[in-house]
Homo-oligomer: A and B are copies of this chain.
């Protein structure tokens, strides 16, 4: 994997030799500064996705014209060289795939390319370049790990514990963090670990009492819906006895242990109250309350890691003030125990709605789900087997697809065409579970498969909502154990929910499983509306599908990359995204903290405010 193949040893006309020739010619064009020639080596329909290595951005350009544009702006300052395959390129179904390494003036990178035949020669179809490390700022890992003890006799020796205690005493008081990460769930913690490892003076703050409480505090039957192979954090993998779908409290314990073991500077019971940025000083002024005491922090960079599922959408409905039962957003649902024998109405029909309905039914509540729009459902087993198994599974690990490799393979498929690869998978799931879907439809449940049949993962990337990974509750709807109602809520009465068609649902508790808003809402709360609007909508691809209006962006809006607000960043996503993209966010922050020039190519315009 890490060995570099000698370009000269292979034959001259096999796929390997031709790929070697392509890579050599490409490098020659780059070294000659010839953007046009390099661009002409891409197929008519082609994609170059760069994660920070050329563009100091997360961006995809398309076709030779896009490649040429990227190179004309970035080539001279990037100084790419020393491209080399890490392992023998392999051909299958007309596509030659190759893993390669390369260097730039300031860093080392890794990439994955796919070559296809076009007009009699090999051309790049997909080309992924990623930044792995900054020269002179390599991580202390493996052979470069710290020694730990300082051998010899030294009258001024300080111990690890003394240094840790001193650091904790000074941070935020006499020493300002260079980076402040607001939000210490898995996103903030993973990023905190990377920043720590890169030696960036950073601080993660979170309002909860302990790391992991973000999970512990959720409804009690909650387990991860993604499997363990997809969920690893950076640096320290779950052990091989870890459950496939970890229960929330176990994840909470892991996050707390991880925070300590990775020595992440982390303040619990700390809330960010307000923040403002001064372009003059290049500093944020962030007012925080730590264990009730006010404090001002002055970081250069501010990361909002409060969760793409962080800011609750709570509908405003007539009658909410007269309703005498409990009502709360799904994120504040206390679990089913108080509601045994009670009548529960759950507004919404996505993941949280199903999980909550199932748990309430299990605790003998009388449960009605209100479906407001169609929902995409896939069964967990089918999703694991068909949707994820090739990249994230015991089978994948056994066949050499490590998490690191899976992440890069995943990242190498351009968003523009990702749905084309997804559609057949979901067709297979629909066929495999046809009976299941029949029963749901007979029960009146409105199903969809995404705007173009591309299923769950595209819905997640486009809008972060609209689906349920079935772990059992769908059957309760199919057989009527959980009752189903349809339409928008018109108003609440003292004791019921009334729908637009007049249906009245008696209720002791109403749960608004109504999802979450765009993360720039956090910026509005913490900074101001002006900055939130300047940054615009966070998440989504611009796919022109429901809840993801166009134009096409090519990447997820504002995630892990520079925004229109200088020194403001958004971090989050599922455990896979948090793990992988924290690498690129951390390297961007590191470069800035040590004064490496970071000219951004392709900063997108803002088209939507929320």
| A residues neighboring B (CB under 8 Å) | 139-143, 145-149, 151-155, 157, 159-162, 164, 197, 220-221, 223-224, 228, 235-236, 239-247, 249-250, 253-254, 257-258, 260-262, 358, 361-364, 380-381, 394, 471-473, 475-476, 481
Contacts and interface: CB of A to CB of B under 8 A. Distances in A.
A303 to B, nearest CB: 21
A148 B394 contact: no
A148 B152 CA distance: 49
Nearest to A157: B362
A44 to B, nearest CB: 43
A15 to B, nearest CB: 27
A155 B362 CA distance: 4
15 contacts: A142-B240, A145-B241, A145-B242, A145-B394, A149-B223, A149-B244, A151-B381, A153-B473, A159-B220, A159-B247, A160-B250, A161-B249, A164-B249, A235-B240, A253-B261
B223 A148 contact: yes
Nearest to A223: B149
A255 B245 CA distance: 25
Contacts of A223: 148-149
A161 B140 CA distance: 37
Contact of A235 (B197, B241, B250, B475): B241
Given A253-B261, A362-B155, A243 B475 contact: no
Task: Report, nearest first, the 10 A-B pairs whose CB atoms are least far apart.
Answer: A148-B243, A257-B257, A160-B247, A149-B223, A152-B472, A149-B245, A148-B245, A161-B249, A236-B239, A143-B394
A235 B243 contact: no
A247 B161 contact: yes
B241 A139 contact: yes
Given A152-B475, A153-B472, A243 B147 contact: yes
A151 to B, nearest CB: 5
B221 A140 contact: no
A472 B151 contact: yes
A253 B263 CA distance: 10
Contact of A142 (B159, B261, B394, B475): B394
A149 B247 contact: yes
A154 B240 contact: no
Given A160-B250, A361-B153, A476-B153, A241 B148 contact: no
Given A260-B253, A361-B153, A148 B240 contact: no
Contacts of A254: 261
B244 A147 contact: yes
Contacts of A145: 228, 240-244, 394
A361 B481 CA distance: 75
Chain B CB within 10 Å — which of A143, A155, A261, A380 has the most?
A: A261
Contacts of A224: 148-149
Contacts of A364: 155
A132 to B, nearest CB: 15
Given A228-B145, A240-B235, A394-B143, A153 B475 contact: yes
Contacts of A249: 159-161, 164
A471 B362 CA distance: 61
Nearest to A148: B243
A162 B248 CA distance: 12
Nearest to A140: B241
Contacts of A262: 239
A182 B405 CA distance: 44
A395 to B, nearest CB: 8
Given A142-B394, A149-B243, A149-B471, 8 more contacts: A146-B243, A147-B244, A147-B245, A149-B244, A151-B380, A151-B381, A151-B472, A253-B260
A380 B150 CA distance: 11
A151 B262 CA distance: 33
A247 B261 CA distance: 13
Contacts of A148: 223-224, 243-247, 250
B244 A235 contact: no
A257 B256 CA distance: 8
Contacts of A471: 149, 151-152
Contacts of A221: 157, 159
Contacts of A140: 241
A82 B518 CA distance: 61
Contacts of A380: 151
Contacts of A149: 223-224, 243-245, 247, 471
Contacts of A152: 471-472, 475
A197 B243 CA distance: 12
